[in-house]
């Protein structure tokens, strides 16, 4: 068949698991979820990649949207840098192969195709929250200096901003909390009251954000200078229409920035074509670069040459960086938003993990991810009436994980982990299940649903306490 994942899509879009056959004798066979999973796995062009990732035996790992597993390629690139440190010492900055000195730009070049950017527009460095601070601060400074975004064909975005007007930042109520902390801090540091100027788009259903409400907020408030949205919501997995939001922001005379932490590496983006001004993301989720791995950022070429709000020596132009001038000259690229010396051991695994993802192909990864989540949702619909799916069913609005809603989600998550199914809980009622495409099979998804069904049928989750805290 042309599309090896079509049966999974048909299971969700058609008549459920009973309607995944081809109208012949296979109908009754394909209605068996195990047979369907085996059929999908046999036809899966990415199935061999699972052997490249390290998941402990007996574990069903469905939490790659929080922390991706180690791969042989990531460990090899880490081992190489450790060996270079052992053998070359400080010489590694110039004599390693490749030299450490250019690690931020080099890995940025490798990441750029995943987000639809030119190489000079992406750099690796800092952490995601530090990158958020410096980029929000940079563009607030531009607005306070009287500079707004320019976009051909949009009369409102004429590049001018009234410096007498304190700019507001538009966010949404379902954001990851750290984003609000950082935006509020950057407003406060400029003497702007965040209670007045942090404009929050509310959710209609507690799960998703309607893009019409973002546009309505821009119509209602003429002081919004930055629209800051996620590419995907961390709890429900809703995928945003980046191009639509960026166009609405520019039409209103605002910059468009995005937090891509919950989609980079699972969803191909086109930041350049969409007109995005700036973006940040981490590399330890779908990019599988390890706990606390280095952050990444995108700044559109039209903004290169700006002075970052948080300037540091590693963002200095490379040609004169070691002249140690006391006057800061920012690099004429996204590299200007680097701050301190890059953490080599936190960046090294990313090299291998990007290469593995490049071999798989981000668009093939996305196709399989959608098929896996199609299959998961179809199974839940068919077998778990106690559970609601809080993730949009439309492909264009779905990221890489599925939010399963249940009143006892916290206890259900704990019971699953004790049975070797690693998921996470997000208050108040969500079990996040992430069947990441590079290392998850359709049989794995079926086994997860089997475990959930067994727990709920037996009431085993009721033996677990709640509100124990901890990291999930």
8 A C-beta contact, residue 312 and residue 339: yes
End-to-end Cα distance, the chain? 39
Is 271 catalytic? The answer is no
398 to 94, 109, 202, 277: CA distances (angstroms)? 43, 27, 19, 23
Tokens of 155: 């009369």
User: Which member of 240, 284, 439, 442 is catalytic?
Assistant: 284
Is 27 catalytic? The answer is no
Specify the length of the chain in residues: 472
User: Which member of 80, 176, 210, 450 is catalytic?
Assistant: 176
User: Which member of 259, 277, 374, 424 is catalytic?
Assistant: 259
Q: Which residues pair with 226 in a beta bridge?
A: 169, 255
Cβ count within 10 A of residue 390: 23
Q: Which residues pair with 124 in a beta bridge?
A: 296
Tokens of 336: 């200007």
For tokens 């059929």, the residue is 39
Is 432 catalytic? The answer is yes
Strand ranges for 208-291 from DSSP E: 224-230, 255-259, 278-281
Is 284 catalytic? The answer is yes
| Helix, strand, coil share of the chain (percent; to 5) | 45, 15, 40
User: Which member of 184, 367, 398, 432 is catalytic?
Assistant: 432
In 3D space, the residue among 300, 444, 421, 312 whose CA is nearest the CA of residue 372 turns out to be 444
Is 442 catalytic? The answer is no
Helix and strand counts by DSSP (H, E) for the chain: 16, 17
Q: Dihedral of CA 216/217/220/225: which sign? A: negative
User: Which member of 52, 197, 235, 285 is catalytic?
Assistant: 285
Please give the positions annotated as active site. Answer: 176, 259, 284-285, 432
């Amino acid at each position: 068949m042309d599309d090896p994942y079509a049966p999974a899509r048909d299971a969700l879009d058609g008549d459920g698991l009973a309607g995944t056959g081809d109208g012949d004798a296979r109908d009754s066979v394909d209605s068996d979820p195990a047979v369907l999973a085996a059929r999908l796995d046999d036809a899966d062009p990415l199935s061999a990649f699972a052997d490249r990732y390290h998941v402990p035996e007996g574990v069903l790992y469905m939490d790659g949207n929080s922390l991706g597993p180690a791969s042989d390629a990531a460990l090899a690139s880490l081992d190489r840098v450790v060996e270079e440190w052992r053998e070359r010492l400080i010489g590694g900055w110039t004599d390693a192969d490749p030299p450490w000195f250019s690690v931020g730009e080099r890995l940025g070049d490798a990441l750029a195709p995943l987000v639809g950017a030119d190489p000079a527009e992406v750099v690796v460095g800092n952490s995601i929250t530090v990158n958020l601070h410096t980029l929000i601060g940079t563009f607030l400074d531009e607005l306070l200096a009287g500079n707004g975004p320019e976009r051909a064909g949009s009369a409102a975005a004429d590049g001018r901003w009234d410096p007498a007007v304190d700019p507001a930042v538009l966010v949404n109520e379902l954001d990851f909390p750290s984003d609000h902390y950082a935006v509020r801090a950057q407003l406060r540091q400029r003497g702007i009251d965040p209670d007045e100027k942090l404009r929050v788009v509310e959710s209609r259903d507690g799960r998703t954000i309607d893009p019409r409400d973002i546009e309505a907020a821009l119509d209602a408030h003429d002081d919004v200078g930055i629209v800051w949205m996620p590419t995907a919501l961390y709890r429900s997995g809703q995928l945003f229409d980046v191009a639509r939001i960026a166009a609405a922001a520019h039409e209103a005379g605002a910059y468009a920035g995005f937090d891509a932490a919950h989609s980079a590496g699972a969803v191909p983006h086109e930041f350049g074509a969409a007109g995005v001004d700036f973006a940040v993301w981490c590399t330890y989720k779908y990019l599988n670069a390890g706990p606390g791995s280095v952050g990444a950022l995108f700044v559109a070429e039209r903004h290169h040459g700006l002075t970052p709000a948080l300037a540091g020596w590693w963002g200095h132009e490379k040609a004169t960086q070691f002249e140690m001038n006391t006057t800061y000259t920012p690099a004429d690229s996204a590299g200007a938003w680097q701050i301190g010396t890059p953490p080599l051991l936190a960046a090294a695994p990313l090299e291998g993990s990007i290469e593995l993802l490049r071999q798989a192909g981000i668009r093939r990864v996305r196709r399989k991810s959608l098929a896996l989540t199609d299959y998961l949702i179809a199974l839940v619909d068919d077998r778990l009436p106690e559970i609601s799916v809080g993730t949009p069913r439309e492909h264009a609005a779905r990221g890489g994980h599925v939010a399963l809603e249940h009143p006892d989600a916290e206890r259900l998550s704990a019971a699953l982990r004790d049975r070797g199914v690693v998921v996470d809980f997000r208050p108040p009622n969500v079990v996040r299940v992430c069947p990441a495409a590079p290392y998850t099979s359709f049989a794995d998804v079926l086994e997860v649903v089997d475990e959930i069904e067994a727990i709920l049928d037996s009431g085993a989750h009721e033996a677990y306490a709640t509100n124990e805290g901890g990291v999930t």
